């Protein structure tokens, strides 16, 4: 199946080690999610490859959508990657951290299956009008939460 990808960044005025610890803890994800979100059934050490949890959050037409999420890459202070399995497809969300003086540039990269049908045809519009702004909103909340702590 065809894939779609994207990349969004923000600079957080905190060291990479603090940013990584916050991102790696799925219990914190609801604090910076742009939509209602929480996790359940955490298995394994937080932030380690192979650990997993169930995410519960909003997607179109399902306000309490559930899927299994696994940490598929973890390099403390550098990268944390989460792969969600949903409908037999994998959705990859990678957070790459790069020191910038005392701050950290956080880049969120996505690699998802391209939607089928009309949503696939309209994906560039949907991504620009809905997905990107939500991801930027989440990154803004992430930045604000970290910088206020």
Alpha-carbon gap, residue 27 to 38, rounded angstroms? 7
- Residue ranges making up the domain that contains 23: 3-148
CA distance 105 to 13: 9
CA dihedral 44, 50, 55, 59 (to 10 degrees): 170
Torsion of CA 129, 131, 135, 138, to 10 degrees: 90
Residue 40 has a pLDDT of: 96
Q: What are phi and psi of 5, to 5 degrees?
A: -140, 165
Packing angle of the helix pair 132-148, 16-24 (nearest 10 deg): 120
The enclosing domain of 98 has a CATH number of 3.30.530.20
Q: What are phi and psi of 57, to 5 degrees?
A: -160, 175
**How much is the pLDDT for 65?**
95
Q: What confidence score (pLDDT) does residue 94 get?
A: 98
pLDDT of res. 129: 83
* DSSP tally for the chain: helices H, then strands E: 5, 7
pTM: 0.94
CA distance 109 to 92: 8
- Please list the pLDDT of the chain residue by residue as tens digits (149 residues): 799 999 999 999 999 999 999 999 999 999 999 999 999 999 999 999 999 999 999 888 899 999 999 999 999 999 999 999 998 999 999 999 999 999 999 999 999 999 889 988 988 888 888 889 999 999 999 999 999 98
Considering its fold, how many domains does the chain have in total?
Answer: 1
User: What pLDDT was estimated at residue 126?
Assistant: 85
First and final C-alpha spacing in the chain? 42
Strand intervals (E) in 76-137: 79-86, 89-100, 103-113
């Amino acid at each position: 199946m065809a894939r779609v990808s994207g990349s969004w960044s923000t600079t957080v005025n905190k060291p990479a080690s603090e940013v990584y610890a916050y991102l790696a803890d799925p219990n914190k994800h609801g604090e910076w999610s742009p939509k209602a979100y929480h996790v359940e059934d955490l298995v394994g050490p937080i932030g380690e490859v192979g650990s997993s949890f169930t995410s519960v959050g909003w997607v179109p037409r399902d306000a309490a959508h559930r899927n299994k999420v696994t940490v598929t890459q973890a390099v403390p202070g550098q990268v944390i990657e989460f792969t969600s399995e949903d409908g037999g497809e994998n959705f990859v969300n990678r957070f790459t951290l790069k020191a910038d003086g005392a701050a950290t540039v956080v880049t969120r990269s996505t690699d998802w299956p391209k939607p089928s049908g009309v949503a696939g045809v309209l994906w560039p519009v949907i991504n620009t009008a809905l997905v990107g702004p939500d991801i930027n909103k989440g990154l803004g909340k992430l930045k604000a939460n970290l910088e206020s702590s």
